[in-house]
Structure 1
Amino acid sequence: MSVSRWSLMIHGGSGIITPDTLSAEGEARARAALDRALNAGEAILATGGSSLDAVEAAVRVLEDDPHFNAGRGSALGLDGTATLDAAIMAGDSRAAGAVAGVTRTRHPVSLARRVMDESPHVLLAGAGADAFSLDQGLEQARPDWFVIPERVYQLAAMKRDSADAFDVDMKYGTVGAVARDMAGHLAAATSTGGVTGKRWGRIGDSPIIGAGTWADDRACAVSATGSGESFLRVGVGHEIAARIRLSGESIDTATTAVLAEVQGLGGTGGVIVVGAGGHAAWHFTTPGMYRARTDSMNRREVAIFSDT
């Protein structure tokens, strides 16, 4: 791919997402949200903007959409509150920023970007991250703004040990984006509300650099979604990039092998990946994954189920 070409891929989570588990209205809303996120990132990349700005813009759109498990609509912890995680990484310098357990920032991905750009650190958590957000003047939201009725119902069902909790959970997912810009630089971003009923300050793979989020111009950019604990144990993002960079594997070969390793540990999920040359691919081991892509060759696709 020539330097002047760009590519963008996004995801909205993977899981038991089939025509039987997702209503026609839910499918239409999800597709519309993915399309809006593509438009936000495309507007930046098509005019020569950076991949870093593009992935942030795309993820912000999905954080505002209650159909996904990020920002508004996030999964609720055992105490009924939403605690949010996000990460962003630049492939040229491998600069990165991440936050975990934040409670008031409307767009956690933008807080992660500020951690990268305006602090000497990579990962901030909890009250400290909330305080940093205020210091940076980022848009705040009341904690109840993140809460939607479906998530309240889901938490109650989980406490009753009801299968309904699982059914609701599978209709929502972590969000992410990967991109290559006209300058040939890569970037990745991921945002999530975690898992329903989480406690003890649980943190998954999404805000962990090298696990759920990774970008390196020498190899690829990766954003993951799925069984966070298994993705952490494999170091999915870095592992895919290492196989590409050090073993010369293709994106598809490396990604398939790493997801198989995750499955071997009992986990499922999916990834979106864009390579140094601009080739973008998605792979998942679940019945469906909210996903979409666009590029400078006028290829555009929005898909949800395994075959559409």
Structure 2
Amino acid sequence: MRHVLIAAMSVLLTAPGALAEDAPDWALVVHGGAGVIERGAMTPETDAAYRAAMTRALATGEAVLESGGSAIDAVERIITEFEDDAMFNSGRGAVFTAAGRNELDSSIMDGRDLNAGAVAGVTSVRHPISLARAVMEHSPHVMLQGEGAETFAAEQGLEIVDPAFFFTERRWASMERELGRLGLPIPPRPEGAPGPEPVDEGALLRDSREHRFGTVGVVALDMQGHVAAGTSTGGTTAKRWGRVGDSPILGAGTYANDRSCGVSATGTGEYFIRLTVASRICALVEFEGLDLQAAADRVIQDELTAMGGDGGVVALTPAGEIAWSFNTPGMYRARQSAGGQPLVAIYGDEE
């Protein structure tokens, strides 16, 4: 299966941040997760809601980049909005672990200098992507996890919330269903969570099919010719033993390098880690001279598929070339370049 989008031009970079004369002033590509996303399982209202959310993400990024803001700023700003949108598996819409907790992972990377930050297993930071950026800019480390990451977040003045802030009835019901399937006990309802509410059966079925490995991500190109990438997730429904996927792993779920491209991934994290999907795509562009789409397709359509992994990526070069590739029936995705019209897509048969 092949799903592609390529910007109108493609060049081989000769220097970090180098731009072709006809490259766009800025560009954006975003995703909201990949999986078994099919028209037959989507109501018109749900379809419209996801498209509206992706359109808002592009508008947010455009406002940052059009005013001369940095790619890093655009990535963080868009992802914080996703983290507050309960439709997506990040932040407030995150799935629950088998212990009945929301454990959040995120990473961000700057293509200018390969600086990066990441966090894993945080439970009380409203915006994990902002914490990842703080790790990058205000600590000597690249990754922090758990309690230590939350202590650092408080020291940095980031917004700390009660864990119940992340609760959504739909995700709780999905966790209960998955634990029942696994024969595991249902944990107590989180303290401070609202009372039980009815959940649409169609939404639960959709969650089980499409969002088990949901993620959000952004790659941005700014007017200075720099790329940046970021990814944020709640992980997998009913995950156990402190499981961490690819989203906070630099080179697996997120990578950015002005010499090649930026990539954000979504899918079955264990395979993306083993294949180092994000950095592998960038290496194919930089060292083998592949165009962006060819590199993304080789890794996703050939190598990932051969391993039995599922998911997809969005990617962007400093020359403004945009690509996405996924081996699942659908992926929430959108792109826009300066002077162009936004493109939003969900299903596999859309360009």
Deviation at 1:170, TM superposition (A): 3.2
Residues in 2 aligned to 1:192 and 1:277: alpha-carbon distance in whole angstroms: 28
Letter in 2 for 1:224: A
Closer/same/farther in 2, CA of residues 190 and 214 from structure 1, 3 Å limit: same
Match of 2:75 among 45, 55, 68: 55
Residues in 2 aligned to 1:70 and 1:167: alpha-carbon distance in whole angstroms: 16
Residues in 1 aligned to 2:167 and 2:205: alpha-carbon distance in whole angstroms: 18
Residue 26 (1) aligns with residue 46 (2): yes
Q: What does residue 237 of structure 2 align with?
A: 196
Normalised by the length of structure 1, the TM-score is 0.97
Q: Secondary structure at the match of 2:316?
A: strand
Specify every segment of 5 or more residues in structure 1 that has no aligned partner in the other structure, as ranges.
Answer: none
Deviation at 1:39, TM superposition (A): 1.2
Q: What does residue 237 of structure 1 align with?
A: 278
Specify every segment of 5 or more residues in structure 2 that has no aligned partner in the other structure, as ranges.
Answer: 1-19, 183-200
CA contact (8 A) 1:34 1:62 kept: no
Q: How many residues align?
A: 308
Normalised by the length of structure 2, the TM-score is 0.85
Match of 1:268 among 301, 307, 310: 310
Q: What does residue 247 of structure 2 align with?
A: 206
Residues in 2 aligned to 1:160 and 1:116: alpha-carbon distance in whole angstroms: 40
Deviation at 1:290, TM superposition (A): 0.4
Residues in 2 aligned to 1:264 and 1:292: alpha-carbon distance in whole angstroms: 27
Residues in 2 aligned to 1:70 and 1:186: alpha-carbon distance in whole angstroms: 22
Residues in 2 aligned to 1:198 and 1:183: alpha-carbon distance in whole angstroms: 41
Larger CA deviation: 289-298 vs 76-85: 289-298
Q: How does 1:1-308 map to 2 (within 5 A)?
A: 1-2=20-21, 5-161=25-181, 167-172=206-211, 173-259=214-300, 260-308=302-350
CA contact (8 A) 1:4 1:184 kept: no
Residues in 1 aligned to 2:120 and 2:208: alpha-carbon distance in whole angstroms: 20
Residues in 1 aligned to 2:58 and 2:264: alpha-carbon distance in whole angstroms: 15
Q: Secondary structure at the match of 1:105?
A: coil
Identity over the aligned pairs, expressed in percent?
A: 47
Deviation at 1:291, TM superposition (A): 0.6
CA contact (8 A) 1:70 1:192 kept: yes
Superposition RMSD in Å: 1.5
**Over 6 Å off, 4+ runs:** 162-166
Residues in 2 aligned to 1:81 and 1:38: alpha-carbon distance in whole angstroms: 31
Residues in 2 aligned to 1:278 and 1:124: alpha-carbon distance in whole angstroms: 32
Q: Secondary structure at the match of 1:160?
A: helix
CA contact (8 A) 2:315 2:322 kept: yes
The structure that has the greater radius of gyration is 2
Residues in 1 aligned to 2:156 and 2:91: alpha-carbon distance in whole angstroms: 18
Q: Secondary structure at the match of 1:161?
A: helix
